[in-house]
Structure 1
Amino acid sequence: MKKISLFLSSAVLLFSIGAGTASANGTLEGSVSNLLGTPYQWGGTSKDTGFDCSGFILNVFNQFGIELPRTSKYQASIGEKVAKADLRPGDLVFFNIDGKGISHAGFYVGDGKFAHSASNKGVSISNLSDSYYAKRYVTARRATTEDAYAHMISYPSTAE
């Protein structure tokens, strides 16, 4: 019984710690705003070291308790395929930048825009309709459940 109680106490503590780290305002939008301008770093997964594209996605989604594969290639293989016209904030978008298949990723933030970590700009927001990205767009995937989506969009703020 002590082990179960200790486990539950630890789980509650971990959840409450994680809840406070989602972002300044606790939403997907807030998480992105908090990371804008973070430099690009190949293999990077944190604000301190910088991000590559899939590391940026991992970091943001982890703030909401959503686990994803590490690389954009594997991220593109999960969830359900989504038509470009049906994108909603949090859907993953994938591009063929190097001509060898999926080589860049970001996530849709609404209004035809996506957040990503670009090698020339770091964490930034771009338009899907920009000719560079429009020509290289491959697919989109919905990697969240409805509950996780609601959590990302309307997560109650715990930070002031």
Structure 2
Amino acid sequence: MDVFIDLQNVIIGGLSTFHDVFNVTCRSTEQPHNNCGICKACLVNQQLHFSKEWWSRSGDLTRRRFLLALISRIRPELLEHLAQILKPFVESKDFTYARNKFLPSSVHDRFGTSGDRCLDPSKVHEDSVIILNWFKSQDKYTQCSFLLTILQWCEYHLIFAAAMTIISIQEIDCKLKLPSL
């Protein structure tokens, strides 16, 4: 329960400049189904729909690569906010226990590779590049909305990988900013 309270405090206190980042809906009343097609929310929804087409059938490795590629293209000022959001999940002893527990019946605890089911690898790569190029050119509201939605689709091990990557990047940046002795 404390993790959710901390998450609320981070969102309210740390992300107040884009407080409605989780609310990706068009506010247009002139178009049917509130979809104008030109506002930020509609553009994010279009890219999310485009991503969802292959995400649900893609394998673990493809998802991990895509998620880490998104993180590598995110605006630097968002890294600190995302680290604040994800750090409680990484540092939580319950999360660490659940992550380290071996469950033979779990798909992720079996040995082997999980491939992309019925997907053309070149098409997935092409679609990923299109989305990544779009993502890199967006403002922080759009990047954060898109990435947080993608994180909602992820299983715990991908969220953990994303959190560790963000925290590692943040720590490396802090070390590089320190004056040398």
Tell me the TM-score normalized by structure 2.
0.23
Tell me the TM-score normalized by structure 1.
0.25
Q: Which has the higher contact order (CA 8 A, sep 6+)?
A: 2
Q: Which has the higher helix share?
A: 2
